[in-house]
C-alpha cells in the first residue's frame, strides 16, 4: 500500500536566456548564486528532458513522471489522467525579462500535433513586478491580412502592427494559441501554460548571441499559426476579493483564480477531480491538510494532489496566491 500524498514542492529548473537577468534571485529568492542571465525558473514541468524533481517529504528525489506512473489519478485526478495519461498537462514558470523577449506565436493543438507531435500552447501571464515604463506586446492593433502581415515582417516594421501595453504588478494577460506576443524588458511574471515547448520566433530585434549569431526565425511556420484578428481589450479584467476566491481566467486547459488572504480560508477541492497548483506571489502562509501542514512563501509553487480534498490556508500577514487546476472536459 502506498503512503498518502501531501502538498508537493519541487526543485526549480533554471534556464539561461540571452534576455535574462537576476530578479529570480533578488525578488523571488531563487538560489542563483549571484549569477545573472537566468531568464526562467521552471517551477513545475513534465517536459521531456526538464522533468521536475520533488524537494520535500518522503517522495523527495522522485520525478513528477515517476509520481504520475505510481499515483495516476490520485495525483492528478481521474478525469485529468483519463484525458492526458502520464503526461502532466501544465507547465509553470517564473520569467525575468531584463531585455525584450522575441516577438513570437505558438500553434494550437491541431497544428502542433500535425507538425510536432505535441500539444499546442495557450498560456497566461500574471505580472509580479514591472519597472517604470515597462510594456509587453499582445495581439494586433487592427485586423490584418496574412499578406499585409508578411510584408510588414519583410520590411521590418512588424512592431507598428502590434498592440503594446504598459503594465504593472497584478495585471493579467491571457495568450491563446495563435496570438502574437512578447514580454518586454523590466517585467517579472508568472506564466501558466499548456505543456509544450513549441515556439515560432517571428522577430528578435536583430539581436546576436554570444557567438555573434542571429537567432533562428520561423517566418513561414508562423503564418498558419497566427490569429490575424484584432480584439477590443487584451488585458484580463478581474476583481480581487478579500479572503475569498477571485476568478481570473478559465479556458479548456486551466482555470486560474487569485487568493488574496489576511485570514484563514478553507477550500474544498472534492468536486474538481484535478490536482491544484498554488503559486505564491506575495507573503507567506501555512497550508493545513489532513495529516499535516506545509509552509509556502513568495516565489514558491506547491502541487496539491487530487486526493487531498480539503485545504486550509493560514496566512502569516497578507498573502497572495494563484490557484490553478484543470477543468472538466
Cell numbers describing residue 2: 502506498
Check if the beta carbon of residue 30 is closer than 8 Å to that of residue 41.
yes
Instruction: Write down the H helix ranges in the chain.
Output: 23-26, 64-71, 73-76, 78-84, 109-116, 146-154, 219-223
- SS3 at position 259: strand
Radius of gyration of the chain (CA): 20
DSSP E strand stretches across 181-220: 181-182, 187-194, 200-203
Phi, psi of 187 (to 5 degrees): -115, 135
Hey, which residues are catalytic here? 201
141: which DSSP letter? S
28: which DSSP letter? T
Amino acid at each position: 500500500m502506498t503512503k498518502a500524498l501531501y502538498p508537493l514542492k519541487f526543485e526549480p529548473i533554471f534556464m539561461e536566456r540571452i534576455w535574462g537577468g537576476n530578479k529570480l534571485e533578488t525578488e523571488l529568492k531563487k538560489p542563483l548564486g549571484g549569477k545573472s542571465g537566468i531568464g526562467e525558473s521552471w517551477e513545475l514541468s513534465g517536459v521531456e528532458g526538464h522533468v521536475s524533481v520533488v524537494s520535500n517529504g518522503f517522495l523527495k528525489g522522485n520525478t513528477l513522471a515517476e509520481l504520475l506512473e505510481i499515483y495516476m489519478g490520485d495525483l492528478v485526478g481521474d478525469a485529468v489522467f483519463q484525458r492526458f495519461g502520464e503526461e502532466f498537462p501544465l507547465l509553470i514558470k517564473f520569467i525575468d525579462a531584463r531585455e525584450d523577449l522575441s516577438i513570437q506565436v505558438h500553434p494550437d493543438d491541431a497544428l502542433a500535433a500535425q507538425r510536432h507531435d505535441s500539444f499546442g500552447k495557450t498560456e497566461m501571464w500574471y505580472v509580479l513586478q514591472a519597472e517604470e515604463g515597462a510594456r509587453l506586446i499582445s495581439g494586433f492593433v487592427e485586423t490584418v491580412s496574412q499578406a499585409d502581415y508578411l510584408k510588414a515582417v519583410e520590411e521590418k516594421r512588424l512592431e507598428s502592427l502590434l498592440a503594446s501595453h504598459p503594465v504593472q504588478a497584478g495585471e493579467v494577460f491571457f495568450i491563446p494559441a495563435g496570438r502574437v506576443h512578447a514580454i518586454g524588458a523590466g517585467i517579472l511574471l508568472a506564466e501558466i501554460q499548456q505543456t509544450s515547448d513549441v515556439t515560432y520566433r517571428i522577430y528578435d530585434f536583430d539581436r546576436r548571441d554570444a557567438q555573434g549569431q542571429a537567432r533562428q526565425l520561423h517566418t513561414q511556420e508562423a503564418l498558419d499559426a497566427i490569429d490575424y484578428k484584432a480584439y477590443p481589450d487584451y488585458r484580463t479584467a478581474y476583481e480581487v476579493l478579500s479572503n475569498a476566491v477571485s476568478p481570473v481566467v478559465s479556458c479548456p486547459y486551466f482555470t486560474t483564480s487569485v487568493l488574496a488572504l489576511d485570514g484563514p480560508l478553507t477550500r474544498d477541492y472534492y468536486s474538481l477531480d484535478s490536482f491544484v497548483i498554488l503559486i505564491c506571489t506575495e507573503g507567506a502562509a501555512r497550508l493545513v491538510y489532513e495529516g499535516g501542514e506545509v509552509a509556502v512563501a513568495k516565489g514558491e509553487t506547491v502541487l496539491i494532489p487530487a486526493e487531498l480534498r480539503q485545504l486550509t490556508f493560514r496566512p502569516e500577514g497578507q498573502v497572495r496566491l494563484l490557484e490553478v487546476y484543470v477543468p472538466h472536459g
